[in-house]
Amino acid sequence: MNNCTDCINCNTCPSADKPMEEYIRRIPLETAHHRVEGQSTKCGFGLQGVCCRLCANGPCRITPESPRGICGANADTIVARNFLRAVAAGSGCYIHVVENTARQLKNTGLHKDKIRSEKALNHLAGLLGVTGKDKYDLCVKVADAVLSDLYRPEYEPMELVEKLAYSPRVKRWKELGIMPGGAKGEVFLNVVKTSTNLSSDPAEMLVSCLRLGISTGLYGLQLTNLLNDVVLGDPEIRTAPVGMNVIDPNYINILITGHQHSLFTYIQDRLLDDDVTAKAKAAGAKGFKLVGCTCVGQDLQLRGAHYTEIFDGHAGNNYISEAVLSCGAIDAVLSEFNCTLPGIEPICEKLKIKQICLDVVAKKANADLIPFHYETRQEDGDKIIDEIIEAYKSRRGQVPMNLFTEHGNKNTLTGISEGSLKAFLGGSWKPLIDLIASGKIKGLAGVVGCSSVAYGHDTLTAELTKELIAKDILVLTAGCSSGGLENIGMMTPEAAELAGPNLKAVCKELGIPPVLNFGPCLAIGRLEIVATEIARELGVDLPQLPLVISAAQWLEEQALADGSFALALGLPLHLGVPPFVTGSKLVTKILTEDMVGLTGGRVIIDPDGKSAANQLEAIIEEKRRALKI
C-alpha cells in the first residue's frame, strides 16, 4: 500500500469524470487510478494473445524465429485456445449468477416468501410455458425449468432456448450447429477443450464461443433479469441522485458490490425493521443506508422505486469503489461477486471498514465469509447487521472524513427496462420505430459493459457516447458504462443539449436524455429483448436492424462471453482494445470479417471515440439503406 503523504507528484490516470479525477489525485491512499502508471509497460505477446502457459514446457511465445510453441501449436491455435478459455470462464460467471438467482426464486416459492411482482412472474411463466397451482408453486416451477436446463449435460440441448430466442436466430443457430447444451456442461466441455494438447482447431473453438455466447446471453443475462424482477420488483422510470453526493454520513452506510442482487433481499428489508433501526439509533446513527457501487448498485438503482427508504443511490462504477470507500462515511462493504476490486482491501483495513462476503466465489482476503443460505438467512442477517454496527461504533470519530458532496447529480433518469420503456412509449414499440423510420433517431447503439482504467477511466466510453448522440444515434447503456456516464450527467434531461438536432428535439419533446440507462451489465439482456421485440414488430431479423453494440471499455472475461452473444445475435460489436487475438491472422479475420457470413455479426476494433463513432454510424446508415428507410 502506498503510504504517500505528498500528492504533488501523484500520477493518476485521466477520467471522463473530471471532478472525480481531481478527487482521486488528492486521496492519500492508493487506488487503481494510481497503479495504472506502474503497470503501463505491457507484454506485447500477452496483448497479441500469443503467450501460452498451458504446460511446463512454456511459457512459449510466438516470434518470427519461433513461429510454433514447443508442442507445435501455432499462433492460431494459441490465440483461439486462450480466447475460448476466457469466454468459458466468463460464461461460468454469469451462469453462476443465474443459478443463484433461480435458486432464490425457488426458495421464495417454497417458503411462501415475498413476491414483489406477480406480473413479472406471470410474464416469465408464460414465456417459458410453465403453469403452477398458485403463485408460489409457479415460482418453484419457473425456477426448476431454468435450473434443469442449466444442469443438463452439454450433449442435451437446453429446452428454453427456443422459447427465449427469436425464431429467425434459432433457425440460423441450428444451421450453424451452435444450439447450446446444458449451460454448465458447455463451460466444462470448453475448459477441457482448451487444456494442454487437446483441441488445436481455431475455427471449431471460435464456433464454441458462439455456443457459449448463446447460453450466457439467454440464461446469464436475460433470464437473470426476468427472475429478479419477480423477487425484487419491476423497474420503474424515475429520476434519482447519482455519484458520491448520495452518501449521508449521519447513517450507518453499507457499500454493496457485486452482481447478485437477490442475495441482498433479506438484509435490505431487515435493515428497515424497527428493532434494527433502534439498534442503529442506539449506536448514534439515524439508521441504515445502502450505497450502490458496481452492477448490483445499478440493479438496485434500476428498481429503486421499491427501495427509496433504504437505498441512498448509486455512487459509481467499479473503478471508483476505492474512492468511495476513502470518503470515510462507509462503514462496511457487503460483496457477493465481481467487480469487487482487491484494491479495496488495504483501504478497508486502514479505514476500519468491515468487509463481509456473501458468496465464496468472491471471497476477499481480509473479509469475513458468511455465505448466503436461504435457511439461515435470518440469523446470518442479524449477525451481519451486528458486525456492521460494531464497525460503525469503533471507527466513527477515529477515521478522517473526506466527503465529496458536490460529486454527481440529483436527476439521472433510471428504471429503464424492456417493460418500463415500452409502457412509457404507450405500450407499443411503434412510436420508437416511427422515430427511427423518419430519421429523427438515426439508429440505436448499445454502449455497454465495463469500465476500465488502463487507457483512461471511462474516457473512450464517454467520448464515443458523445459522438454517437451528436449523430442523432440514441444510446442505450447497461453495465459499468452506465455508472460512468450517469456520473458525468449524460442521463440527465439537460444532456439533450449534447445531442444532434433531431435527437435533441425528440429528447426535449419526451423529456428524456439522449442516453437511456438500463442499469447493470446483466441488463444487456434487456437491451437484446428490446432489439428482438422491435425486429419482430418489423418482421426482420436482428442483423438487419440499425443497431450497433459497443463494449468500448470491456474489461473482463464476462464481457467476452457477452460479446460472443452479440456476435451470435448477428450484431456489429465495437471494442476499444482487441481481446488478445491479433497475434492470429486467422482468428482476427474470422472475428472481424468472416463472422458476417456466419451470424451477420462482426467485431470492430477502434481505440478512438471519433473514428469508432464514424464506423458505427456508417454501419447504421448501411442498414437503413437496406431497410429502405
Residues near other proteins (CB under 8 A) are 41-45, 47-48, 50, 61-65, 67, 75, 577-578, 582-583, 585, 605
Which residues, other chains included, contact 596 with Cβ-Cβ below 8 Å and sequence gap of 6+?
Answer: 602
Output the smallest distance, CB 438 to other proteins, in A: 40
Residue closer to other proteins by CB (options 241, 578) is 578
Residue closer to other proteins by CB (options 50, 237) is 50
DSSP structural state of residue 569: T
Which residues, other chains included, contact 422 with Cβ-Cβ below 8 Å and sequence gap of 6+?
Answer: 428, 429, 533
Residue type at 243? G
Helix ranges (DSSP H) in 406-515: 418-424, 430-438, 459-470, 480-487, 501-510
Residue 284 CA: distances (Å) to CA of 253, 270, 273: 13, 19, 17
Inter-residue contact 90 to 213 (CB < 8 Å): no
Output the smallest distance, CB 243 to other proteins, in A: 34
Residue closer to other proteins by CB (options 101, 452) is 452
Residue closer to other proteins by CB (options 64, 177) is 64
Residue closer to other proteins by CB (options 50, 344) is 50
What does 7-71 look like in DSSP terms, one character per residue?
-TT-----BSSHHHHHHHHH-SS--HHHHHHHT-S--HHHHHT-EE-SSTT--EE-BTTB-B-TT
Output the smallest distance, CB 195 to other proteins, in A: 24
Output the smallest distance, CB 318 to other proteins, in A: 25
**Segments of 349-486 assigned E as strands:** 354-357, 368-369, 409-414, 443-448, 473-478
Output the smallest distance, CB 297 to other proteins, in A: 33
Output the smallest distance, CB 77 to other proteins, in A: 13
Residue closer to other proteins by CB (options 46, 371) is 46
Which residues, other chains included, contact 295 with Cβ-Cβ below 8 Å and sequence gap of 6+?
Answer: 258, 259, 339, 479, 480, 519, 520, 521, 522
Output the smallest distance, CB 450 to other proteins, in A: 19
Which residues, other chains included, contact 362 with Cβ-Cβ below 8 Å and sequence gap of 6+?
Answer: 258, 335, 336, 337, 338, 340
Which residues, other chains included, contact 434 with Cβ-Cβ below 8 Å and sequence gap of 6+?
Answer: none
Output the smallest distance, CB 547 to other proteins, in A: 27
Inter-residue contact 570 to 543 (CB < 8 Å): yes
Cis-peptide, bond into residue 168, ω within 30° of zero? no
Output the smallest distance, CB 16 to other proteins, in A: 23
| C-alpha–C-alpha distance, residues 48 and 43, integer Å | 9
Output the smallest distance, CB 42 to other proteins, in A: 8
Residue closer to other proteins by CB (options 5, 41) is 41
Burial string for 158-194 (b: 16+ CB within 10 Å, else e) reads bebbeebbbebbbebbeeeebbbbbbbbbbebbbebb
Cell, residue 223? 433470464
Residue closer to other proteins by CB (options 51, 473) is 51
Residue closer to other proteins by CB (options 491, 581) is 581
Residue closer to other proteins by CB (options 1, 43) is 43
Residue closer to other proteins by CB (options 79, 102) is 79
Distance of alpha carbon 560 from the chain centroid: 12
Output the smallest distance, CB 114 to other proteins, in A: 51
Residue closer to other proteins by CB (options 543, 576) is 576
Output the smallest distance, CB 67 to other proteins, in A: 5
Residue of 575, 583, 627 lying closest to 601 (CA atoms): 575
> Would residue 580 be called left, alpha or beta, if left means φ above 0 and alpha means ψ between -120 and 50 degrees?
left
